[in-house]
Structure 1
């Protein structure tokens, strides 16, 4: 069972909130909650695990226990990696709330086959829905578009565009620059884009456990390249806080972004922070 460092105050804050438009909470790693003015609540890539020490060591608090979540309409996953699809983090949310889980095929394979969510937790198979690039679906007051992502370390990554009357939020998962981003930037008026940012570090290899030079996330130039192509008004760097050896300073991005038309503003947030569309 997952034990939170923070108790239940964050999930209660989300559930008690009444946004004027759309509120977005950062959960650390690449996790977010979005909530609209009508109360629709969507979790994206929530991960509450500790990693695989000493290979991957979590550097931030576990912000909530998933069994404390009482109000959620959906959980979305961007790709199949453990810190994006994780039964102990996500299945209890589905079981408690009846929320739907949306994910690409290889992510669903983790839930159905590798972790057997429907046997290990009170999750039904009809709660698990497959998505792929080009799909559009509605969750409450949000229209969600499934778009391409460029994550060479994943087998089938996607990104999501959340459209709402109050604005548009883009979640890129662990994507790096993509030739599709200029099209996406032309097609949508993106107010806020969350993109993974980190340094290159020496992480023990999964098989040999020998330290290996590892780049999992965008560096300073890549993340600004993504934001510029997406033509987003605001850039929110994510994932920089999570793994020992790969942490980064997001304030350094001010220097990289100021020479471009987009992003117009940098949103530097810490785990538990809330921003508005």
Structure 2
């Protein structure tokens, strides 16, 4: 993990904020900090690692040091990949706060068995909260629903529908269009949907180092379908900024979504940006 050259302004911005509704800060990759009007703070998939160069090379700044995060009620993980479950990025947040680590079984296996968070950091076993599709939990002012997604590259991915009295956010992790999305649109009125988007590129093979055609995220047409199936009011594309060879232009999505009923608005954010629900 590289040191952040942004200082502590981003964790301080989250801690000091007093939103009227719900504020979200984009952390790059697929990470968000979410703060409600009563002060509850969720961190979803925060990742400050640099990848595994030369195979995966981080293309955006490291925006904060997790040791500077002292306000958190829960850290949510969508699936087990390293840019979503990463001890150096997330365990210090748990150690500094009373936050739970909310994650499906395979993500918790990384934390418990592969990275041994309870041995390497001041993290208690009680901080681990296993969830699966259909679960609902209350974290402060937020109702968090664990829902089915579709990410064939992950072993057990989930998404989170986060309800607040002022609106609803859906974080789909790295999901591509899912058979579950039309049903979610019927069950929830999602105001803001967070969906991963990227290009197809050549990424070095883990063993041989030879470039391999790689597609990890939805392309333009897939993300447009997912947004429409979900009935989104606002679409926030993510992950397009992160990995060398897989970056993409999110402004191109205007041409792909404008003929569909949903989303009503495409909202492009850059790392460090704050948006309001």
TM-score range, shorter chain: over 0.9
The residue that corresponds to 1:275 in the other structure is 275
Q: Which moves more between the two structures, 164-173 or 201-210?
A: 201-210
2:155 aligned with 1:155: yes
CA–CA distance in structure 1, aligned partners of residues 108 and 32 of structure 2: 19
Q: Structure 1: 5+ residue runs without aligned partners?
A: none
Shift of 1:207: 1.7
Query: Does the CA-based 8 Å contact 2:25-2:275 persist in structure 1?
Result: yes
TM-score normalised by structure 1 residue count: 0.99
Distance in 2 separating the partners of 1:120 and 1:255: 47
Quote the Cα distance in structure 1 between the aligned partners of 2:208 and 2:124.
Answer: 38
Does the CA contact (< 8 Å) of 1:193 and 1:227 recur in 2? yes
What is residue 128 of structure 2 aligned with on the other side?
Answer: 128
Shift in Å, 1:174: 0.2
Aligned to 2:195: 195
**Does the residue aligned with 2:11 lie in a helix, a strand or coil?**
helix
**TM-score computed with the length of structure 2 as normaliser:** 0.99
Contact 1:2 1:65 in 2 (8 A): no
Q: How many angstroms apart in 2 are the aligned matches of 1:132 and 1:206?
A: 30
Shift of 1:209: 1.3
Q: Tell me the alpha carbon deviations over residues 167-211 of structure 1, each in whole angstroms, 9 at most, x when there is no partner.
A: 000000000011110000110000000000000000001122110
Counterparts of 1:146-185 in structure 2, within 5 Å, are 146-185=146-185
Aligned to 2:213: 213
Distance across 2 between alignment mates of 1:5 and 1:141: 33
**Over residues 52-100 of structure 1, what are the superposed CA-to-partner deviations in whole Å (9 max), with x where a residue is unaligned?**
0000000000000000001110100000000000000000000011210
User: Structure 2 CA distance, aligned partners of 1:275 and 1:257?
Assistant: 21
**What SS class does the counterpart of residue 59 from structure 2 fall into?**
coil
For structure 2, the residue ranges without an aligned partner over 5 or more in a row are: none
What does 1:92-111 correspond to in 2, within 5 Å?
A: 92-111=92-111
Cα pair 1:145 1:161 within 8 Å, conserved: yes
CA distance in 2 between counterparts of 1:31 and 1:44 reads 5
Deviation at 1:2, TM superposition (A): 4.8
Q: What root-mean-square deviation, in Å, do the aligned CA atoms of Structure 1 and Structure 2 show?
A: 0.6
* TM-fit CA distance, 1:5: 1.9
Native 8 Å contact 1:201 1:245 kept in 2? yes
- Could you tell me which residue of structure 2 aligns to residue 243 of structure 1? 243
Which residue of the partner structure matches residue 13 of structure 2? 13
Instruction: Summarize deviations over 1:196-241 as a string: whole Å, max 9, x none.
Output: 0000000001122110000000000000100000001000000000
What SS is found at the alignment partner of 1:160? strand
- Aligned pairs for 1:136-147 (under 5 A) are 136-147=136-147
Is the CA contact 2:2–2:50 (under 8 Å) kept in the aligned structure 1? no
- Hey, what's the Cα distance between the residues in 1 that align with 2:222 and 2:186? 19
2:42 is aligned to 42
SS across alignment from 2:213: strand
1:153 offset after TM fit, Å? 0.4
